[in-house]
Structure 1
Amino acid sequence: MISCSEDYVAMGVSMTRGVLLAIVCFVPIVVSYNHIFWAVLRMTATEGQAKAFSICLPQLTVVVAFFSTWTFAYLKPLSDSPSTLDLLASVLYTVVPPSLKPLIYSLKNKDMKSALWRS
């Protein structure tokens, strides 16, 4: 017979809470991006579609990076002592997505693009 110790209960509650929070946060984002993609695909001008996708896809990349590191950081089994992998996940979760947004917007700047292509 498997005993239900406090560790397993705490882990189960933590995992359940994490999964529910992920669903509550992630599903509306997926639904909204789905609406955006279908609206873009209904556009008649291919230039407009390309511009819309060039705006949406980097943003979607940031969202995926955020949720994948969040999922790893919060839905992995609890450990007694933090490991290097825990530290790396928390740094990726807190540093990478916020720093990607300015990078994305600066790469959309025409002057920045031309400077990158010249070097």
Structure 2
Amino acid sequence: MSESKVITTRLPNDLLDNIDELVKEKFDNRSEAMRSLLELGIDRNNVVARIEDIERKLDRLMVVCEAQFQQSHISNMLILNSIEKNKKLELLSGMYEIQQNAKASLARLLLDKFGE
């Protein structure tokens, strides 16, 4: 075991009772239970912080995606309004394929970056 320090802390009786129940079920003594529970709490806090960071990044990514979509939509409408009707269907078909490829690429990027 690594070097350690003795600390004193006050706990509500019901919390200490819960810890003592855990000691009976899973740990050798109260100190081991306390160390384990503190480590779990710290790990959980780190996970929550990482999730919040990912959520912020995804929010920013969505804003960028929405802006890109709006820009593309406006560009597409301008192009469609400037070409002959018989060419519009051909162009729309190609644009649909491009959109599907872009969605698939974005999904792959998100999976590569953040996992499943």
The TM-score, its normalising length taken from structure 2, stands at 0.47
For the pair shown, the structure with the greater C-alpha radius of gyration is: 2
The TM-score, its normalising length taken from structure 1, stands at 0.47
